[in-house]
Amino acid sequence: MGTLHWRPPPGPLRIEGDGLVLREWTVADLPRMVELFDEPSIDRWTPLESPFDLAAANRYLTRAGHRRVDGAVLQLAITVDGGEPLGELLFIASDDDATELGYSVGVRHRGRRLAARAVDLGIATAVTWGARRFRLRIEPENAASVAVAVACGFVRSPGPPTPASSKGRSIMLDLWDRAEG
């Protein structure tokens, strides 16, 4: 993994728009992370460790801070008012000029277009920081993530899925791309 080809401004981030506030995770969010991420569908479709308990949440937050400083990953809590996290949006450095995105929404908060709204808001903001190309890697069977990709204007790359590994299992991932400007 490289570094992001663009840089968000230093200091804590708060991105507002479309009825959402995207902000960085805090220590106060640790119990909420457990509630959001210790869930079978999160375990199935993401690389997050499982079970996702308070110790896992603490490791995750610590790693998020290091990866932010290194310019490798930017992890933002999805909220409606800057308070209670409902999910997460990630910007992940890739080996080319694309910025990979990842997203998850807690099971109790699904059906409100939170992921699609967060992706669109995140992309609009990242473009102001210099990002131009965005990519998703989605298992073809992950219908919810595919629906978010389509809703956000991503186009599936031609060709067969690419092999990958997650949590000791072999998976296949479709690549989805979106270019701006």
| 3 inside domain | no
pLDDT over 90 (residue 93): no
**Could you report the per-residue pLDDT of 120-177, keeping only the tens digit for each?**
999 999 999 888 999 999 999 999 999 999 999 999 999 899 999 988 889 999 999 9
Q: Is residue 138 within 8 Å of residue 173, measured between CB atoms?
A: yes
**Could you report the per-residue pLDDT of 31-84, keeping only the tens digit for each?**
999 999 999 999 999 989 999 999 999 999 999 988 888 878 899 999 999 899
Which domain covers residue 21, as residue numbers? 14-135
Number of structural domains, the chain? Answer: 1
Outline where DSSP puts E strands in the chain.
Answer: 14-17, 20-24, 73-79, 87-93, 98-105, 133-138, 155-156, 162-166, 169-179
Task: Give the DSSP H or E segment for 47.
Answer: none
Q: What is the CATH number of the domain that holds 102?
A: 3.40.630.30
| 79 inside domain | yes
| 129 inside domain | yes
| 146 inside domain | no
- CA pair distance 86, 79, nearest whole angstrom: 6
| 6 inside domain | no
User: What was the pLDDT predicted at 5?
Assistant: 64
User: What was the pLDDT predicted at 116?
Assistant: 97
Q: Which of 29, 52, 28 is nearest to 39 (CA)?
A: 52
Residue 96: band (very low, low, confident or very high) from pLDDT cuts 50, 70, 90: confident
Residue 20: band (very low, low, confident or very high) from pLDDT cuts 50, 70, 90: very high
- CA pair distance 60, 116, nearest whole angstrom: 23
| 131 inside domain | yes
